[in-house]
């Protein structure tokens, strides 16, 4: 079983201007991610607009990504759903298609953590690939404290990885590292805002979207090569763009799609409604930052 580590971008689901899934742009996206040095890919995540896909579209996106990757790097497939039975079915389909792992968030707005625990247990036991526990309280409405996350990771054999999205991620990384008895892989997120500090805290990498994934890869590679000063300087230099792209309330994934479209990686920046549009002033500011960084 391939261990997950490094930069595993949350991939986009590209659409045509009329809102149909653009499978040909999936192929160009895969080549761009891999050319940037990505150590794996995470598909059908929140930034991949998975919740806006019909079931047949989910299957098409899953299979197209796996075919385009062609086993060159591990692929993690998002399988989150409000019902445990639906998440189990998504997980089985992902495993059957060839995903190396599945990523699972708690069902939306379930405040009873015993029910959340049972949700993870049942999904993990329905597949043989590892589960990445996604801690995402903003979108799910479910807060999972560090002791509960440790319990999930220690008591459910299939839960091998943790992806943190709660702000701040740093104290949770430390808490899980200090308390977990099992071997756990920990990944940051949040658009890459805290990548350098997350690595200092013991994170194994990051699962997040960003318009220039090579920036995250280079930061990780410098850090793991022991060149921490160079990693910090390189990361800090690109923080203005990471910060600007992370304006979820302004445009969220739409900003990121505009970056990839400007780079010629996808044919259209279309994001499915009700994704908010991005105005021309925002795009002009985005272009100004990209020019200033020489990207």
Contact 185, 150 (CB under 8 A): no
Tokens 């903003």 correspond to 138
Q: Checking DSSP bridges between strand 41-43 and strand 6-7, what pairing results, if any?
A: unpaired
The encoded tokens of residue 241 equal: 């763009």
Cα–Cα distances in Å, from 141 out to 135, 190, 219? 10, 16, 31
- Cβ neighbours for 131, distance < 8 A, ≥ 6 positions apart: 91, 101, 102, 103, 104, 120, 123, 124, 156, 158, 159, 160, 161
Pick the closest to residue 184 from 133, 139, 114, 254 (CA basis): 133
Burial of 235 from C-beta contacts in 10 A (0-12 / 13-18 / 19+): buried
DSSP 86-116: HHHHHHHHHHHHT-SEEEEPPPTT---HHHH
DSSP 106-168: PPTT---HHHHHHHHHHHHHT-SS-EEEEE-HHHH-----HHHHHHHHHH-TTEEEEEE-SSS
- Cβ neighbours for 275, distance < 8 A, ≥ 6 positions apart: 49, 251, 252, 253, 254
207 annotated ligand-binding residue: yes
Binding-site residues for pyruvate, please? Answer: 207
Binding-site residues, please? Answer: 207
């Amino acid at each position: 079983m391939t261990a997950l580590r490094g930069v595993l971008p949350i991939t986009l689901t590209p659409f045509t201007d009329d809102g149909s899934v653009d499978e040909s742009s999936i192929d160009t996206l895969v080549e761009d991610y891999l050319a940037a040095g990505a150590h794996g890919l995470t598909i059908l995540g929140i930034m991949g607009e998975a919740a806006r896909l019909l079931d047949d579209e989910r299957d098409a996106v899953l299979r197209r990504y796996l075919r385009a990757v062609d086993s060159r790097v591990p692929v993690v497939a998002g399988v989150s759903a409000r019902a445990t039975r639906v998440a189990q079915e998504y997980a089985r389909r992902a495993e059957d298609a060839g995903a190396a792992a599945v990523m699972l968030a708690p069902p939306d707005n379930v405040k009873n953590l015993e029910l959340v625990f049972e949700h993870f247990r049942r999904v993990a036991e329905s597949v043989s690939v590892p589960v990445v526990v996604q801690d995402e309280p903003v979108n799910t409405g479910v807060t999972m404290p560090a002791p509960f996350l440790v319990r999930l990771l220690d008591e459910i054999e299939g839960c091998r990885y943790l992806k943190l999205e709660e702000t701040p991620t740093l104290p949770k990384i430390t808490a899980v590292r200090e308390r977990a008895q099992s071997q756990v892989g920990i990944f940051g997120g949040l658009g890459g805002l805290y990548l350098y500090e997350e690595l200092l805290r013991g994170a194994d990498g990051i699962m997040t979207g960003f318009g220039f994934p090579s920036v995250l890869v280079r930061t990780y590679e410098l850090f793991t090569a022991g060149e921490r000063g160079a990693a910090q300087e390189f990361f800090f230099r690109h923080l203005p763009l990471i910060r600007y792209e992370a304006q979820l309330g302004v445009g969220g994934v739409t900003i990121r799609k505009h970056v990839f479209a400007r780079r010629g990686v996808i044919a259209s920046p279309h994001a499915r409604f009700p994704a908010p549009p991005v105005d021309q002033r925002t795009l002009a500011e985005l272009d100004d930052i990209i020019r200033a960084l020489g990207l």
